[in-house]
Amino acid sequence: MAAPTVVRRPSPGTGLPAVFRQRYLLKLLVDKELQIRYRGTILGLLWSYVKPGIQFVVFYVALGIFLGLERGMENYAVYLFSGIILINFFSESFGNAARSIVANASLIKKIYLPRQMFPVASVWVAGVHLLPQLVVMLVACLIVGWSPTWISLLAVPAALLIVGLLGAGLGMVFGAANVFFRDAENFVDLIVMVSTWSAPVLYAWTMVRDVLGPVWFAGFMLNPLTVAVELSHAAFWLPTTSPGAHAVPPNLFSLWTPAALVVVAVIMFLGDLTFRRLEGRFAQEL
């Protein structure tokens, strides 16, 4: 007599490594998200240019012209846009990752796959939307005389890594919480709203240092978004300014960048840990 078939429940403890072992499935999810996002639209991926472009114009007119920030900062337009693209990357990756589990409830209830794949796919989709903005940023920098150093070029992947890990880590925490408490989406919206002002996107870091003093300024620099935005400024804006006229925060590369990477790595670890603890109940709650 044949031995009875033993049905085993798929282990939910595979975590993030399983996501990258199944890269083909991840690619399919990213393609699906992009197709759904632009289904029935006329502009399609061109919305990646339109939305940040309008946001840039609004902030530039309101702050650069009306409030006069342009007069005190060389190439303020480049400064502003190089920060906006990083904040938009965080806002989209975090916001969509936090909603990804509920948004894909039908898949989660029907088939088993590493559930972390949904927040990670959201970050990749945000990265796809970031690429056209980076191209526009690069063209603008070349027009105004961009002369980067090798440190400036290394600042770009460092900034993207910080923001991507932060968006994925927080996205897993709030994505898991959103399954049980839909109030989590409201907290996500609040964090996204505050993020634009929590980092020196619309203002200079020197304003924070002069107002808060050195102790509180150190706390300001522990914000990974602050470090990522300043790395973007170092990569795109600073090489377009007059030598010695402007500077990035002291110890940006030697102290604050490694500190930001440690912070986002811890957030990523805690996000994955929280996700693993709760994902076993996703299907029944959804």
Q: What is the pLDDT along the chain (286 residues), one digit of tens a residue?
A: 455 544 444 444 467 777 777 778 888 888 888 777 777 666 666 766 777 778 778 877 877 777 777 777 888 889 999 999 999 999 999 999 999 888 888 888 777 778 888 899 999 999 988 988 898 889 889 988 888 888 888 999 999 999 999 999 999 999 999 888 887 888 999 999 898 888 999 888 998 999 988 888 999 999 999 999 999 999 999 999 888 778 889 999 999 999 999 999 999 999 999 888 888 888 777 6
**Backbone φ, ψ for residue 104 (5° rounding):** -110, 30
Q: What is the pLDDT of residue 162?
A: 96
Handedness of CA 93, 99, 100, 103 (dihedral sign): negative
Distance between terminal CA atoms of the chain?
A: 41
Is residue 39 classed as helix, strand or coil in its secondary structure? Answer: coil
Pull the structure tokens for residue 208: 């924070």
Look-up: residue for tokens 């898949």?
A: 107
- Other beta carbons less than 10 A from residue 119's beta carbon: 31
Residues 142-199: pLDDT tens digits? Answer: 988 888 888 888 999 999 999 999 999 999 999 999 888 887 888 999 999 898 888 9
DSSP single-letter state for residue 250: T
Question: CA-CA distance, 95 to 126, in Å (whole number)?
Answer: 10
Question: CA-CA distance, 197 to 191, in Å (whole number)?
Answer: 10
What radius of gyration do the chain's Cα atoms show? 21
DSSP 87-156: HHHHHHHHHHHHHHHHHTHHHHHH----TTHHHHHHHHHHHHHHHHHHHHHHHHHHHTT----HHHHHHH
**Backbone φ, ψ for residue 243 (5° rounding):** -55, 130
Q: What is the pLDDT of residue 45?
A: 66
Q: What is the pLDDT of residue 9?
A: 47
Q: What is the pLDDT of residue 255?
A: 94
In one letter, which amino acid is 265? Answer: A
Which residue from 20, 68, 83, 23 is spatially nearest to 236, judged by alpha carbons? 83
Q: What is the pLDDT of residue 22?
A: 79
Query: 72 near 256, Cβ under 8 Å?
Result: no
Query: 100 near 118, Cβ under 8 Å?
Result: yes
| 39 to 44, 192, 251: CA distances (angstroms) | 8, 25, 46
